[in-house]
Chains A and B, each alone.
Chain A
Amino acid sequence: DSGVTQTPKHLITATGQRVTLRCSPRSGDLSVYWYQQSLDQGLQFLIHYYNGEERAKGNILERFSAQQFPDLHSELNLSSLELGDSALYFCASSEGLAGGVYNEQFFGPGTRLTVL
């Protein structure tokens, strides 16, 4: 158990719909990262938040958005869903930079999104 929780575990929805994925980081971790994992694209970085602020954006579609709340949990919102959005969505948390070393990320179990 990594200490990172993600809900829901599975989500089945229809094209055009909007969903929200939730992530609670490990206690004390300030950084939250979101990734999309699909069979043909591998693990794609979406976005990184540190203590409520957006720090980096990767291959995140305009239909997707995220935020990190004051209690440090994060939500990833996916709207106007398409069949191609079906994937595993992981969040990971990290302490961030400490002592000049970038600390490891701890991954949650993922949310499997199926768009029908």
Chain B
Amino acid sequence: GDSVTQMEGPVTLSEEAFLTINCTYTATGYPSLFWYVQYPGEGLQLLLKATKADDKGSNKGFEATYRKETTSFHLEKGSVQVSDSAVYFCALTNTGNQFYFGTGTSLTVIP
């Protein structure tokens, strides 16, 4: 079945460091891919999405490119801030009826 595998955390970075959170997926067909972010005590919020191969989703300095050849959707940011500290979830859907989420990667950015 469809699934998402995310890199394990927690990840701790210094402010202005480069961030990569790896995400690979297994799916039939051509799924849509998403990154969600969860701040402490809140629900998940969409960070960015990509709906077809080679699409790049971007938002708030974060980017991820839909790579069908490597079945990956890695999240990157060039310079993280303390306010980026949160849990990040990679997700996919093929039909819109069910979304598959990774286990989440906790990021802490220290000043």
A residues contacting B by CB (< 8 A) are: 2, 4, 31, 33, 35, 42-43, 45, 48, 50, 55-56, 58, 90, 92, 94, 96-97, 101-110
Contact = CB atoms under 8 A, between A and B. Distances in A.
Contacts of B98: 45, 48, 56, 58
Contacts of A4: 43
B103 A109 contact: no
A110 B39 CA distance: 13
Interface size class, chain B: 20 to 34
Contacts of A96: 96
25 contacts: A2-B45, A4-B43, A31-B96, A42-B102, A42-B103, A43-B44, A43-B89, A43-B101, A45-B100, A48-B98, A55-B97, A56-B95, A56-B98, A96-B96, A101-B51, A102-B32, A102-B51, A102-B93, A104-B34, A105-B99, A107-B36, A107-B44, A108-B43, A109-B42, A110-B43
A90 B49 CA distance: 20
Given A56-B98, A58-B98, A107-B44, 7 more contacts: A35-B101, A42-B102, A43-B104, A48-B98, A50-B97, A103-B96, A110-B43
Contacts of B43: 2, 4, 90, 92, 107-110
A33 B99 contact: yes
Q: Which of A92, A97, A102, A108 has the most CB of B within 10 A?
A: A102
A92 B34 CA distance: 15
A109 B46 CA distance: 14
A30 to B, nearest CB: 11
Interface in B56-110: 89, 93, 95-104
